[in-house]
């Protein structure tokens, strides 16, 4: 599809880690055969619990970690596999906004200098127009022009995050990857940054990848959502499908676990509780990585790795990696677990 | 079966008659800093009834932790100073107790769990040992009986293989399991009141859901649960206190606080959070401009004045006191109080 800005196919990123006691090295499949795409002007949310591979996915797109396998295409450019390949192209077309606005801004530079740097490096505007451009960038993120003369520490966390966003905007990128951009911010300030990102995205037709473990923030921001678990993209689906057409047991359980700020909703909702914690990524379960916590896991789940496949009509843009995706989408995980059709098998007890 | 009777409060029976088990009155805490005196807790007052779940919500730095720790006299002094206030547990004021009596009451009548379980445990003692040591002193049990009780407690909070887990060290447990073990330790002495300082904030959301489910099952235990997460509060609390820069600005039953917030801060806070149900993505989030006041130089009037969308002149000069607004809520806001009288 020509409207896709970013296409990621079968992406894997592995890390070698030492397991402590011996010198033996183990491999962590931080990202394992993940495929997704981001359309022009679209926001893709990546959500999942700690360590599931969200940040690594973002780094891989930026060429900051080495790919084990997989292809990444931006527009019609295929990105090289090596570390740091295509740096110039990437830093012009793709920008990142990080969690901690304090450490990602150089404390010794004024905000004006911070924003001028990318303009100069990429020669975006001629030198005499740069000061004016800095002012425009600040206004874009709702900061007074006079901020250019001040230093990062003179601003609050939310303001610093807006400066980080202005810096990302400076090179006029096509895609911005935001990795937990509001995690360090207080509740009342979080909304400023979320609103700003949404507005910029609409006004400028930007593509966004919004990475967060905060399911509510992701569902608020994203047109489509990729749910990750232990390095796998267990499901990719349009936001509209999240509430009642999700097809992966983990997606349904995750959504059910997110508290809703409404006591009446909370009182009456059906909850799907998963057992235990996420298993160690060093020693992931065989077959489906989710099976040790899945309420409907069957024998086949321990044997066959479910592939990420299209469910429903191709155009709906939903992919899922579960052997029983059709049943899950149709019946809902809570009902299935209670029925005899997909009653819990004994497999998972032994994991 | 254990020979010791393990806490009946963790059973499933209904809440007792509404007897006040905890009364905190006019608690004032300050920190002495290089910049001056930071007024962290400014006259916090609340009552908790048997079996009641009270949530304290508010943003980072509003004094939630300081309130809990000061009430248990666990705040290090200096730099902090608990200037005044009383904390009555079943009629006994903790503020007047000597160290020995204070120690006895903590754990037995009132205990606390934290966000970071690892720091609550001693890293070089097994989990079972730590739970049994505490309870042995409180309840004068034999070593064997205390150990049995510890294992029993671990089982009750849903730790699988409690026998095995009791022999492990804190760092050997997963995050969720460690949090359960800390809750087991806090409840082993059968306290009437449990303080909880964001015990699920560091957990993954599916693990948080398990812990919340466990806590909801403690029907007869009075809990003061501190959180900045309004979703968690909505699912757990009977009553809610909203704090802002060390002041209680609103209090009321959970449904009323969420469905008809009276204080401008509470109302704005509720509209600033995205949600996942059918409301998701439909509303523009409200952002509250500015930031809370410096605790070293609190304004003379309402602490929310700078950021308030409905302020009037009086708010700049007179500090609003907590007054009843409507049938069930108390609110510290001149405008909300005036509206109530007018209606
Ligand atoms: N440089 C590295 N070396 C070894 N392992 C790594 C490295 N970076 C990440 N990992 C591992 O890869 C997995 C995925 O990590 P990643 O940071 O992508 O997760 P995440 O979803 O962003 O988590 P979080 O929500 O905690 O930020 C984790 O198990 C992590 O420990
Ligand atoms: N050791 C200290 N010295 C000086 N000020 C302190 C100290 N500890 C806490 N404070 C101040 O006291 C106020 C209340 O802190 P407290 O930890 O109770 O906040 P909180 O509501 O628990 O916040 P959070 O949600 O971040 O945990 C804060 O504004 C903080 O800056
Ligand atoms: S007292 Fe005034 S400033 Fe304070 S919240 Fe009420 S209206 Fe706003
Ligand atoms: Mg991350
Ligand atoms: Mg705190």
Cβ of B275 under 8 Å from any chain A Cβ? yes
Query: Is 90 exceeded by the pLDDT of residue A80?
Result: no
Residue A342: what pLDDT?
A: 64
HSE at residue A243, side-chain half, CA atoms within 13 A, is 11
pLDDT tens track for B95-117: 999 999 998 898 889 999 998 88
Residue A150 makes CB contacts below 8 A (sequence gap 6+) with A110, A111
Residue A89: what pLDDT?
A: 76
Q: How far is CA A173 from CA A41, A54, A176, in A?
A: 12, 21, 7
Average pLDDT value over all residues in chain B: 89
Mean pLDDT over B194-214 rounds to: 90
Strand order in the sheet with B92-93: B36-49, B20-33, B80-89, B92-93
- Pair A53, A284: CB distance under 8 Å: no
Residue B291: what pLDDT?
A: 82
Residue B300: what pLDDT?
A: 94
- pLDDT band of residue B12 (cuts 50, 70, 90) is very low
Residue B292: what pLDDT?
A: 87
- pLDDT band of residue A22 (cuts 50, 70, 90) is low
By CB neighbour count within 10 A (0-12 exposed, 13-18 middle, 19+ buried), where does A268 fall?
exposed
Check CB contact under 8 Å for A195 and B208: no
Pick the range with the lowest mean pLDDT from A8-22, A114-128, B217-231: A8-22
Query: Is 80 exceeded by the pLDDT of residue B311?
Result: yes
Residue B96: what pLDDT?
A: 94
Query: Is 80 exceeded by the pLDDT of residue B335?
Result: yes
Mean pLDDT over B243-264 rounds to: 97
Paired residues of B240 in beta bridges? B55, B252
Residue B189: what pLDDT?
A: 86
Residue A135 makes CB contacts below 8 A (sequence gap 6+) with A145, A148
CATH number of A38-67+80-229: 3.40.50.300
Q: What CA–CA distance (Å, rounded) separates A285 from A344?
A: 17
DSSP A68: S
- Report residues near ion ligand 4: CB below 5 Å: A 55
Check CB contact under 8 Å for A261 and B276: no
Residue A251: what pLDDT?
A: 97
Looking at chain B, the whole-number percentage of residues with pLDDT higher than 70 is 93
Query: Is 50 exceeded by the pLDDT of residue B10?
Result: no
Helical packing angle, B264-271 and A187-204, nearest 10°: 40
Alpha helices in A122-156 (DSSP H): 130-140
Check CB contact under 8 Å for B235 and A260: yes
Angle at B143 between CA B138 and CA B147, to 5 degrees: 85
Residue B104 makes CB contacts below 8 A (sequence gap 6+) with B138
- Pair B116, B179: CB distance under 8 Å: no
pTM confidence score: 0.89
Which of A188, A221, A266 comes nearest B268 by C-beta? A188
B6 token code pair? 């393990």
Q: What CA–CA distance (Å, rounded) separates A15 from B194?
A: 43
Query: Is 60 exceeded by the pLDDT of residue B14?
Result: no
Within 10 angstroms of residue B5's Cβ, the number of other Cβ atoms is 8
Residue of A187, A240, A283 to mutate, interface with B, max B Cβ within 10 Å:
A187
Query: Is 70 exceeded by the pLDDT of residue B17?
Result: no
Q: What CA–CA distance (Å, rounded) separates A89 from A261?
A: 43
Which of A191, A213, A293 comes nearest B287 by C-beta? A191
Check CB contact under 8 Å for B276 and A215: yes
Question: Can you give A293-308 as a three-state secondary structure string?
Answer: CCCCCCHHHHHCCCCC
Phi, psi at A349, each rounded to 5°: -60, -30
CB B79 less than 6 A from any atom of ligand 2: yes
B191: distance to nearest CA of chain A, Å?
26
Paired residues of B42 in beta bridges? B28
Query: Is 80 exceeded by the pLDDT of residue A220?
Result: yes
* More reliable by pLDDT, B1 or B103: B103
pLDDT tens track for B136-148: 877 788 999 999 9
- pLDDT band of residue A132 (cuts 50, 70, 90) is very high
Q: How far is CA B22 from CA B91, B94, B102, in A?
A: 8, 11, 15
Which candidate, A83, A89, A63, A82, places its Cα nearest to that of A8? Answer: A63
Residue of B nearest to A250 (CA): B206
Residue A351: what pLDDT?
A: 35
Residue with tokens 């059968």: B190
pLDDT tens track for A271-319: 899 988 888 888 899 999 999 999 999 999 999 999 999 999 988 899 9
CB B65 less than 6 A from any atom of ligand 2: yes
Q: What CA–CA distance (Å, rounded) separates B60 from A323?
A: 44
DSSP A35: E
Query: Is 90 exceeded by the pLDDT of residue A233?
Result: yes
Specify the domain boundaries for CATH 3.40.50.300 within chain A: 38-67+80-229
DSSP B125: S
CB B301 less than 6 A from any atom of ligand 3: no
Which of A49, A262, A273 comes nearest B234 by C-beta? A262
């Amino acid at each position: 599809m020509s409207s896709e800005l970013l296409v990621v196919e079968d992406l894997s990123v592995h890390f070698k880690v030492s397991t402590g006691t011996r010198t033996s090295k183990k491999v962590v499949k931080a990202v394992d055969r993940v495929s997704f795409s981001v359309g022009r002007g679209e926001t893709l949310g990546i959500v999942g619990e700690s360590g599931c591979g969200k940040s690594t996915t973002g780094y891989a797109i930026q060429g900051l970690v080495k790919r084990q396998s997989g292809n990444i295409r931006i527009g019609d450019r295929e990105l090289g596999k090596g570390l740091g390949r295509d740096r110039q192209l990437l830093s012009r077309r793709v920008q990142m906004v990080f969690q901690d606005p304090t450490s990602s801004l150089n404390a010794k530079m004024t905000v004006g200098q911070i924003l001028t740097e990318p303009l100069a490096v990429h020669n975006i505007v001629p030198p005499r127009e740069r000061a004016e451009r800095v002012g425009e960038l600040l206004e874009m993120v709702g900061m007074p022009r006079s901020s250019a003369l001040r230093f990062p520490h003179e601003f609050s966390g939310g303001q610093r995050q807006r400066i980080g966003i202005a810096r990302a905007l400076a090179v006029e990128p096509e895609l911005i990857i935001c990795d937990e951009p509001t995690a360090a911010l207080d509740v009342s300030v979080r909304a400023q940054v979320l609103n700003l990102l949404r507005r910029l995205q609409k006004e400028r037709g930007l593509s966004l990848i919004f990475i967060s473990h905060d399911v509510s923030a992701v569902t608020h921001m994203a047109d489509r959502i990729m749910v990750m678990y232990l390095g796998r993209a267990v499901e990719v689906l349009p936001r509209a499908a999240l509430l009642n057409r999700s097809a992966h047991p983990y997606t349904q359980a995750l959504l059910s676990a997110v508290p809703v700020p409404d006591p009446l909703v909370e009182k009456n909702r059906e909850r799907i509780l998963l057992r235990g914690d996420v298993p160690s990524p060093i020693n992931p379960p065989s077959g489906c990585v989710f099976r040790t916590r899945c309420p409907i896991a069957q024998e086949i789940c321990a044997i066959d790795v479910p592939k990420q496949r299209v469910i429903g009509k191709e155009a709906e843009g939903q992919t899922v990696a579960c052997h029983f995706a059709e049943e899950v989408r149709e019946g809902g995980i809570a009902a299935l677990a209670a029925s005899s059709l997909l009653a819990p098998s004994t497999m998972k007890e032994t994991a | 079966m254990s020979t010791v009777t393990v806490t009946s409060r963790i059973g499933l029976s209904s809440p007792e008659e509404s007897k006040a088990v905890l009364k905190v009155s006019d608690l004032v805490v300050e920190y002495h800093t290089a910049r001056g005196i930071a007024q962290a807790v400014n006259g916090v007052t609340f009552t908790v009834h048997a079996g009641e779940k009270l949530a304290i919500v508010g943003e980072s730095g509003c004094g939630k932790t300081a309130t809990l720790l000061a009430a248990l006299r666990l705040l290090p002094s200096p730099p902090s100073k608990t200037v005044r206030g009383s904390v009555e547990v079943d009629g006994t004021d903790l503020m007047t107790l000597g160290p020995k009596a204070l120690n006895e009451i903590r754990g037995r009548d009132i205990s606390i769990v934290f966000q970071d379980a690892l720091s609550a445990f001693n890293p070089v003692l097994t989990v079972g040992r730590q739970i049994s040591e505490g309870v042995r002193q409180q309840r004068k049990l034999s070593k064997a009986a205390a150990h049995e009780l510890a294992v029993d407690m671990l089982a009750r909070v849903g730790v699988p293989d409690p026998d095995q887990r009791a022999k492990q060290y804190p760092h050997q447990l997963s995050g969720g399991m460690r949090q359960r073990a800390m809750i087991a330790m806090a409840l082993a002495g059968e306290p009437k009141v449990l303080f909880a300082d964001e015990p699920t904030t560091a957990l993954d959301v599916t693990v948080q859901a398990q812990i919340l489910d466990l806590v909801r099952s403690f029907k007869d235990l009075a809990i003061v649960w501190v959180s900045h997460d309004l979703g968690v509060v909505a699912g757990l609390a009977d009553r809610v206190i909203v704090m802002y820069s060390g002041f209680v600005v609103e209090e009321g039953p959970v449904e009323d606080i969420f469905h008809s917030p009276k204080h401008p801060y509470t109302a704005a806070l509720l509209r600033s959070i995205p949600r996942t149900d059918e409301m998701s993505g439909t509303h523009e989030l409200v952002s509250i401009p500015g930031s809370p006041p410096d605790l070293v130089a609190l304004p003379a009037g309402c602490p929310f004045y700078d950021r308030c969308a409905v302020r009037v002149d009086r708010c700049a000069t007179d500090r609003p006191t907590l007054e009843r607004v409507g049938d069930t809520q108390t609110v510290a806001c001149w405008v909300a109080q005036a509206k109530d009288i007018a209606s």
